[in-house]
Chain A
Amino acid sequence: MVCPLHAAEWLRPPGHWRFCRARRQAARRAPPGPLRECMETPMPPASQPVAAGRFLAVDLETTGLDPEHDRILSMGWVAMEGPRIDLATADQRLVRAEGPVPEASAVIHRITDQRAANGVALDEALDALFRALAGRVMVAHHAALEIGFLEQACQRLYGVRPPLAIVDTLRLAETALRRAGQPIPAHGLRLHTLRARYNLPAYRAHDALFDAIAAGELFAALLSRQSPDGKLPLGRVLFRPAWLW
């Protein structure tokens, strides 16, 4: 399926054209299922106002930071219509462990081997996530981790690295603070530090669903400052790897 864009949109941002092409290629290579459907669902143009943007705040809990060696323990997400977070869509999946959970991370995530064993298989969790992600821009805090793990998992399971449209709240916040000329203290860009700065409540950390909600709320807080009227073009808040958008 072709990205339904106006002719002008085709000409204007070459990045968007490349992004659409990469999505089409991924859709062709992916097996039938939610990942392929997600890749086939058209994405809005980068010129769309953020208030009309459709987002999915996502968080992954993992056994470590290296997508090559570490595993996904759980995924949580919640949909956003512009700055509105819809709790009706809040969802999470625990991923069944394929081996023992290393002790350190188990303590952090409160996911014991026992609970991890009660989870679902990774592909089942990914299916649920990609169903929710269709037509939406992913919102994550320090998105590189989510991207790395999702690409690695998809590569392994489906032989394809899905190009994702992403908002990284860490980068957005960093830009906002730098632009305001504010010094950024050590750990100043951590999710809970930033949330406190914007008067957001302290949730118990490291629960995938609440970290996803937390990232979504932080995004809403950042939007309220960077675009009080919601007219900022979507493209201005996207996190772009060099080849994308």
Chain B
Amino acid sequence: MNGELEEIREFLDHCPDLAPLPEASRDAFLRQLTLRYLREGTRFPPDAEPGLWIVRTGTLEIRDAHDTLHDRLGEGDLVHIPNTPSHPLGPVTEDALVYHLPLDRALELATRDSAIAQFLAADAPRPLATDRTAHGGHGDRSLLTTPVRALMTSDPILAVSTLSLHEAARLMDRADISALLLHTPERPGEPCGILTDTDLRRAVANGVDPGQPVAKSMASPLTTVERGTPAFEALLRMARHDIHHLPVVHEADGTLAGILSSTDLIRHQGTSAVYLVRDLRRADDLAGLQGVMQALPQLQVQLVEAGADATQLTQTVTTVIDTLTQRLIELDERDRGPAPCAFAWLASGSQGRHEQTVFTDQDTALIIADHASPDADAWFAELARHVTAGLDACGIRACPGDVDPTHPDWRRPTADWAREMERVLHHPAPRDAMLATHYLDMRVIHGAAELFEPLRQQALEVGARHEALLSALADQARDLPAPLGFFRQFVLEDSGEHADTLDLKMRGLLPIVAMARVFALHAGSEARSTVERLRAAARAGVINETTADNLADAWLYIANLRARHQATQIRNGQAPDNALDPAGLSTLERSHLKTAFRLVNDARKTAL
């Protein structure tokens, strides 16, 4: 007589991945399993054994050779490890008891039982991608193969729908979540609706009484996704329903397993930026850096495809370029010996504001500690030449306006910078407005931040009180070319390489950037990025909330359009730029873009 393995059988019956396996075949399947205990911190699978693995307790991760997370497995999850030498491995993240169907036994079972053969064959098409593209496998973190469960947040907060809006908002604030799942008092544990930041905003905008139960403002019924669904499908579902959160349910019984947000998906794609940054840090000569940087355009394409918005995209690209800059400086110090005194490398312009795309140029400066030896400046001039040339070689074009520290104007000792900034910010001549904008956007990329930060603090304090500076900056913002002409037609460039196209940066983004800078300065805010500056200005009452929202939305819309435009160019093998042909836009996009431009025009008239 054989012992009854009913407890294990019961467990397998509840594994969603085993559901296709017919009841009648399960005992035979179960009898061929072996049990393994895997200690936390060891590699999975043990001894790299191929076959079918089912997690009974504990958690595992599946990662490829680049340490990219493919899947996170917990109780009841199944993974098929193919018989290839390079199949992915991963750490056991919590002591685990696993069932293993070794490959030889699987084959034997398949020859004996056609139902099992079918089940095993159907499972096989879920292998984990192992071949990767030229650079560091940025292509294989595909949303197509990653299941939702690997990206979702487990144990989401579930609250009762009789809660008031105010209580719900407080709960979300305390838990720092952007969406709250709700259940009816009758059926706890079973989500019936969702309340998101957007719903809250809408409720406030419509003057809904915060004491009202949340049930009236929540979205219901819910669109859900199952744990095993590929992340890509989840993304499509979000896009189709125009939502940003999906409750994740167990396949077997439909009970709540987690929640997936569009941010989770983007963060997943964002890991490729993490790899780019890591590879930059590891490169130890210019050729190495150049090789890594070739992947940057592809990163932008991926982020756009994954639905990243322009804020996330530009912050990511800026981080990569910051790292490149740091590494170039480190390498130069390695080659020529350490700097003769403390210094900081500064970036202004879009890099300073964290708003770079792959189509960008250098706006940089150097600040050097006072009382350096007389020949120190020669050392820093050399550094400036090496770093700017290195950036240029890596695809970040040298600044056409000569804003770079190979010029003595942009390479000064601290005291000299202090005098210069005071001059420009206190008594700006009209032509100094451009300098002032650079000074206000400057950020320390590398080196001794303490050299520069006090200067910026002081400049901001002075600037906020200085009508002359504010008006110079406001003039500058007003003087930027208008995006819309008579009859609300787009103003197209009339000559040159980009004739008959729309310069999204010059006509769309820079006017908003310039306005945000003035408002933020007036508000005494230290923020550098445009959206943050607008929010800070609204909080300080410099502009009203509507203006801030409108401008931020317009910035985001135009920046998104530019990111998509550049991604398309990169995919088509063209060099990315800011020149958009409006004829290529859909009617809806054209109308949105015009709306965005009109908001900019209106704000320029009313707020400046």
A interface with B by C-beta (< 8 Å): 76, 83-88, 90-93, 120, 198-201, 203-204, 208-210, 213, 216-217, 220-221, 223-225, 228
Contact = CB atoms under 8 A, between A and B. Distances in A.
A87 B33 contact: yes
Contacts of A210: 7
A84 B34 contact: yes
Contact of A199 (B4, B5, B11, B96): B96
B58 A87 contact: no
Given A76-B3, A91-B2, A199-B58, A83 B96 contact: no
Given A90-B5, A209-B3, A220 B35 contact: yes
Nearest to B8: A87
A220 B38 CA distance: 9
Most-contacted residue by chain A among B11, B37, B95 (CB, 10 A): B37
Interface string B84-101: 000000000011110010
Given A87-B35, A90-B3, 20 more contacts: A87-B32, A87-B33, A87-B34, A88-B31, A90-B31, A92-B1, A92-B2, A92-B3, A198-B37, A199-B94, A199-B95, A201-B57, A203-B7, A209-B3, A220-B36, A221-B39, A221-B95, A223-B37, A224-B37, A228-B39
B339 interface: no
A90 B3 CA distance: 6
B111 interface: no
Contact of A91 (B1, B11, B39): B1
B97 A200 contact: yes
A208 B1 CA distance: 14
A91 B94 CA distance: 30
A107 to B, nearest CB: 20
A84 B30 CA distance: 15
Most-contacted residue by chain A among B3, B36, B56 (CB, 10 A): B3
B49 to A, nearest CB: 10
Nearest first, the 8 closest Cβ-Cβ pairs linking A and B are: A209-B3, A92-B3, A220-B37, A85-B35, A224-B39, A199-B95, A221-B37, A84-B34
Contacts of B57: 199-201
A199 B97 contact: yes
B595 interface: no
Contacts of A92: 1-4
Contacts of B37: 83, 198, 200, 217, 220-221, 223-224
Nearest to A119: B1
A198 to B, nearest CB: 6
22 contacts: A83-B36, A84-B36, A87-B8, A87-B30, A87-B33, A87-B35, A88-B31, A198-B95, A199-B95, A199-B97, A201-B11, A208-B3, A209-B3, A209-B4, A209-B5, A210-B7, A213-B35, A217-B37, A221-B37, A224-B37, A224-B38, A224-B39
Given A91-B2, A92-B1, A224-B42, A217 B97 contact: yes
Given A83-B37, A220-B37, A201 B97 contact: yes
A217 B4 contact: no
B5 A87 contact: yes
A199 B57 CA distance: 7
A43 B415 CA distance: 85
